[in-house]
Structure 1
Amino acid sequence: MGSDQNSSTEQKSRKQLIREEGLMPLLGHLGELRKRIVYILIALALGLIVGLLLAQPFYNFLMSQKPANTISLHTFSLWDGIGMYMKFAFVIALIIALPVIAYQLWAFVKPALHEHEQRSTLKYVPFALIMFLVGLAFSYFVVFPLAFNFTRSVSEHLNLEETYGIAQYFTFMFNILIPISLLFELPLVIMFLTAIRLLNPTRLRKMRRVAYFIMILIGVTVTPPDFISDVLVAIPLILLYEVSVILSGFVYRKQQDKDAKWEAEFGQG
């Protein structure tokens, strides 16, 4: 009888130990995630301070460019000016904090990576800002004029008097610029996921139809409802996905070569 009780107590202790061992890594991961989020929030807060200082020059620059310099912008609320100012500040803060955000995401997954994987994925961090700026330029100089001119032509066709609010104008602009700019991070994201062995070119090719559908859906959503505009946006996004597949192939082949060398050197033992 005593031996049965001892056995039962021992089994309970083992189960408790397993639960605790599983809980500790989970709590550790949550603590690490919280630390990374805090760093990101600090970077965004510092970026926001800089953004508040730079909002006026950026506003003046955009107001001197087409189509803003061809129309009169009005305010319909006492809060419109403040709201516009804060939009600029937040966008500038996002641009400034983007490399920090990319680094913190890398630092969070770093413990799960081998040393050579850590080095190979760290080099993607500086390119996060570059790709975002490329996407920002594409969306501002290509997509935004298409969308704006289309909506303006509809108003003219309906004989509507043009009265544009400053808050509505910049909200319309940023709702186009920010999503497309973030989509330009796709090659880096796919290369990173390939480097940590969550994706590979074969899987990406199998997902091609779904990816194309998503890209076309995004193109249709952020552009005016006409075929030319949809094509002008959807095609670059699809090309972006194909470039991502090619880059994923480069990363994957390097992984295969390193694995083969390691197998040849240590596999025999």
Structure 2
Amino acid sequence: MKEQDKSLPNEKEMGYLDHFAELRKRLIWTAFFFILFFGLGLYYVNDIRNFFLNDIDITLNLISPEEIIWIILTIAFTVAIAGTLPFLCLQIWLFVKPGLTKQEQRVSLAYIPAVFLLFVVGMSFGYYIFVKLILPFVLSLNDGVFDTMFTVENYFRFIFRVTLPFAIFFELPIIIMFLTSLGILTPRFLSKTRKYGYFILVIIGTMISPPDFILQIVVAIPLIIIYEISIMLSRFVYRKKQEKHQDFMEDNLTEGE
């Protein structure tokens, strides 16, 4: 008996080591793909940079050589994040797959392309907000009084300050659906905390937009809409989960009779 008791901790320890080894392997593969997409971003950095410059009619000034390096690395890093994101989600799914049911595997697998698409759509929407609303507003503040001079670093920093938050917040529906399916969140909780959610989103809108009340509201409105869509999707997932639980209980009662 004592030998059996000693063997149980060893088996558990071996199980943990196997899980850590698998996790390490998947993280290494993810890092490999990150480096691969980072190199791809470096290769196409000129095309991406020109895309960001085509929609503006202002002259950018270069103050120091470090700005060029910062822009190149930031663009490559953003490409690497966007490209690696679906692969990272796939690795996470493969890691937790043995603990999921067949139905949960199919449902969670469908989240992976949605995560990538929402990230790209969020960045595109943020860029549209920047080009069509924020940048024209900032330029209008000058009113021809001063000579406008944009540095390269400040311009691109301004772009990423707007686009990346939108890319992250566009993932909110997927995150809410996933947490609802796990039972961590419920539609009732999201509805009860709606006013706090609005407050946080308005604060975020003020952080990523110029100090103009109307423009801050315009930026916050899409975030609020995303929050409401997340609540609706949470209700859908929660209702499906309750229906499956009810069917399961009815089947057990039928078998018991």
TM-score bin (small chain):
0.7 to 0.9
Decide whether the 8 Å contact of 1:121 with 1:195 is kept in 2: no
Extract unaligned runs of 5+ from structure 1: 1-9
Distance 2:145 2:31 in 1: 47
Q: Which has the larger radius of gyration?
A: 1
Provide TM-score, normalisation by structure 1. Answer: 0.84
User: Which of 192, 215, 218 in structure 1 is aligned with 2:204?
Assistant: 218
1:139-150 superposed matches below 5 A: 139-150=126-137
**2:182 is equivalent to residue 182 of structure 1:** no
User: Could you tell me how far 1:245 is from its partner in structure 2?
Assistant: 0.9
Distance 2:11 2:202 in 1: 46
Distance 1:41 1:62 in 2: 27
Distance 1:143 1:231 in 2: 14
User: Could you tell me how far 1:207 is from its partner in structure 2?
Assistant: 2.5
Aligned length: 255
User: Could you tell me how far 1:104 is from its partner in structure 2?
Assistant: 2.3
Provide TM-score, normalisation by structure 2. Answer: 0.87
Q: Secondary structure, in 3 states, of the residue corresponding to 1:107?
A: helix
Change (3 A) 1:74 1:235: same
User: Could you tell me how far 1:21 is from its partner in structure 2?
Assistant: 6.9
User: Could you tell me how far 1:148 is from its partner in structure 2?
Assistant: 2.5
Distance 1:206 1:20 in 2: 47
User: Which of 32, 38, 46 in structure 2 is aligned with 1:42?
Assistant: 32
Aligned-residue Cα RMSD (Å) equals: 2.6
**Partner residue, 1:6:** none
Distance 1:19 1:207 in 2: 44
**Partner residue, 2:228:** 242
User: Which of 84, 95, 103 in structure 2 is aligned with 1:116?
Assistant: 103
Q: Secondary structure, in 3 states, of the residue corresponding to 1:86?
A: helix
Extract unaligned runs of 5+ from structure 2: none
Distance 1:86 1:110 in 2: 35
User: Which of 66, 73, 93 in structure 1 is aligned with 2:80?
Assistant: 93
Q: Secondary structure, in 3 states, of the residue corresponding to 1:123?
A: helix
Decide whether the 8 Å contact of 1:55 with 1:85 is kept in 2: yes
Query: Sequence identity of aligned pairs in percent?
Result: 36
